Amino acid sequence: MKHLFVTGLLAAGLAATPLAAQDTIRFAVTDIDGMEAMQREMGPFKTAFEAASGLKVEFFPVSGRTVAVEAMAADQVDFVLTGPAEYVVFNARLDAQPVVTWVRPDYYSTVVVLDEGPIKAPADLKGQMVSFGEIGSTSQHLGPVDLLAMAGLSYAVDYQPVFLNRNVAVEALIAGEIAGIGLNRTHIDSITEKFPDQKFRVLVKGEQLPDDILLASSKVAPEVVETVRQTFADHGADILAALTSTEENAKYIGGRFNPTVTDADYDVVRTMFRNIGITEFTTFVGE
């Protein structure tokens, strides 16, 4: 009986400390919808990361940022890859912590106008309509708004913000129905290719934006977080090569992983939120 009692205590003690012995991490990406897409887009990354870290990666598919934050709140997911604006909300709501950034080359915002159009300076946008991309997007909404704010233009006061599909916005720009479009660097290439007969001009261009970020739930053991961070620090080149082997992750080609990220690096995004009148960061913009 004494032997059984001691054995039972040992078993109970082991069961009570699963986090310290965690060898599987549950991983979500806010802009990949469904398991099939996760396997296709992130499968090579998963294989390379597991080989480098000794951890197993269990994909947790989500249908967006709201589902991801709710899953983390319910302790269904440990790590989430998301954008800069989304990180600010995760941090405010759940005290989620930055682990490593996924650096994207030439990741900056712009406001684009017609090259031969009437808009020559930001002040010319006063009283005009300016189209932005997805509501709450760091590079297509918050970033361009920040550029206009630095030029002295107040959001929804000095100009009217609208949100149009990118191609529709370009057609409206050509027709003179709007005066400018907030875009990121990649989208300039896209509209130039789709509208080869039209010349565009960058009216204002921003600095490199805070990058996409892998964040950790506050419930994950510190030693597990450190293992993940150190894996990116030590094996970044191999992991990046695997990640960018899929077409969907081409935006990270030429990039790197930054394991020295801090929460303060995202204060600039909090300023962007304030530019559109948001002072509490617990809700995703547009939801």
Confidence of residue 286 (pLDDT cuts 50, 70, 90): confident
Question: Of the ranges 1-5, 47-51, 106-110, which one carries the lowest mean pLDDT score?
Answer: 1-5
Residue 166, pLDDT score: 94
Q: What is the mean pLDDT of residues 70-80?
A: 97
Assigned fold of 2-105+210-275: D-Maltodextrin-Binding Protein; domain 2 (3.40.190)
Name which of 80, 204, 78, 84 is nearest 139 in CA terms. Answer: 84
Residues of the chain with CATH 3.40.190.10: 2-105+210-275, 109-205
Distance of CA 211 to the CA centre of its chain: 7
The span from the CA of 179 to the CA of 185, in Å, is: 19
Confidence of residue 17 (pLDDT cuts 50, 70, 90): very low
Cross-sheet strand order for the sheet of 180-184: 160-163, 129-132, 180-184, 109-114, 200-205
Confidence of residue 19 (pLDDT cuts 50, 70, 90): very low
Percent of the chain with pLDDT over 90: 90
- CB 183 within 8 Å of CB 140: yes
For the chain, give the secondary structure using H, E and C: CHHHHHHHHHHHHHHCCCCCCCCEEEEEECCCECHHHHHHHHHHHHHHHHHHHCCEEEECCECCHHHHHHHHHCCCCCEEEECHHHHHHHHHHHCCEEEEEEECCCCCEEEEEECCCCCCCHHHHCCCEEEECCCCCHHHHHHHHHHHHHCCCCCCCCCEEEECCHHHHHHHHHCCCCCEEEEEHHHHHHHHHHCCCCCEEEEEECCCCCCEEEEECCCCCHHHHHHHHHHHHHHHHHHHHHHCCCHHHHHHCCCEEECCCCHHHHHHHHHHHHHCCCCCCCCCCCC
Confidence of residue 277 (pLDDT cuts 50, 70, 90): very high
CATH code of 109-205, in short, is 3.40.190.10
Name which of 45, 85, 32, 11 is nearest 257 in CA terms. Answer: 45
The span from the CA of 131 to the CA of 157, in Å, is: 14
Residue 21, pLDDT score: 55
Helix axes 267-275, 84-94, angle to 10 degrees: 100
Is residue 128's pLDDT more than 80? yes
